[in-house]
Structure 1
Amino acid sequence: MSAEAKDLLDRCRTGDERAWNELVREHAGLVYAVARRQGLREAECDDVVQSVFVTLLKHLDAIEEAAKLPGWLATTARRESWRIARRVARGGAALEADHPLASPISGDALERIELADRVRRGLEALGPKCRDLLTALFLETDHPDYERVSQRVGIPFGSIGPTRARCLAKLAEILAAEEGGSSRNDIERGNPPISRYHGGS
Structure 2
Amino acid sequence: MALQDGTDELMDRARDGDGAAWARLVERYSGMLWAIARGHGLGDADSGDVVQTTWLRLVERMDGLRSPAAVGAWLATTARHESARLAARAARDLPPLVVAAPEAAPDQVVLARERLGQVATAIATLPRRCQVLLRMVAQNAGQADLAAALRIPVGSVGPTRARCLETLRGLVR
Q: What is the TM-score of this pair, normalised by structure 2?
A: 0.52
The match for 1:26 is: 28
Alignment-mate amino acid for residue 48 of structure 1: V
Alignment-mate amino acid for residue 98 of structure 1: L
Q: How far apart, in 1, do the equivalents of 2:16 and 2:6 lie?
A: 15
Partner residue of 1:39 out of 38, 41, 50: 41
Whether 1:99 aligns to 2:109 is no
Task: Please say if residues 13 and 60 of structure 1, whose CA atoms lie closer than 8 Å, have aligned partners that are also in contact.
Answer: yes
Whichever of the two has the greater Rg, that structure is 2
Structure with greater helix percent: 2
Whether 1:7 aligns to 2:34 is no
C-alpha displacement at 1:80, in angstroms? 0.3
Alignment-mate amino acid for residue 17 of structure 2: G
Identity %: 38
Q: How far apart, in 1, do the equivalents of 2:32 and 2:129 lie?
A: 19
Task: Please say if residues 42 and 101 of structure 1, whose CA atoms lie closer than 8 Å, have aligned partners that are also in contact.
Answer: no
Distance change in 2, residues 1:45/1:3 (3 Å)? closer
The match for 1:79 is: 81
Count of residues in correspondence between the two structures: 102
Higher relative contact order (CA 8 A, sep 6+): 1
Q: How far apart, in 2, do the equivalents of 1:2 and 1:57 lie?
A: 23
Partner residue of 1:17 out of 9, 16, 19: 19
Task: Please say if residues 41 and 101 of structure 1, whose CA atoms lie closer than 8 Å, have aligned partners that are also in contact.
Answer: no
Alignment-mate amino acid for residue 61 of structure 2: H
SS of equivalent to 1:39: coil
Whether 1:59 aligns to 2:38 is no
What is the alpha-carbon root mean square deviation over aligned residues? Answer: 2.5
The match for 1:89 is: 91
C-alpha displacement at 1:8, in angstroms? 0.7
C-alpha displacement at 1:18, in angstroms? 2.0
Q: What is the TM-score of this pair, normalised by structure 1?
A: 0.45
Runs (5+) with no aligned partner, structure 1: 103-201
C-alpha displacement at 1:77, in angstroms? 0.6
Task: Please say if residues 43 and 128 of structure 2, whose CA atoms lie closer than 8 Å, have aligned partners that are also in contact.
Answer: no
Q: C-alpha deviations, 1:46-90, integer Å up to 9, x for none?
A: 110000000001111122323311111111011101111122112
Q: How far apart, in 2, do the equivalents of 1:40 and 1:4 lie?
A: 31
The match for 1:134 is: none
Q: C-alpha deviations, 1:152-201, integer Å up to 9, x for none?
A: xxxxxxxxxxxxxxxxxxxxxxxxxxxxxxxxxxxxxxxxxxxxxxxxxx
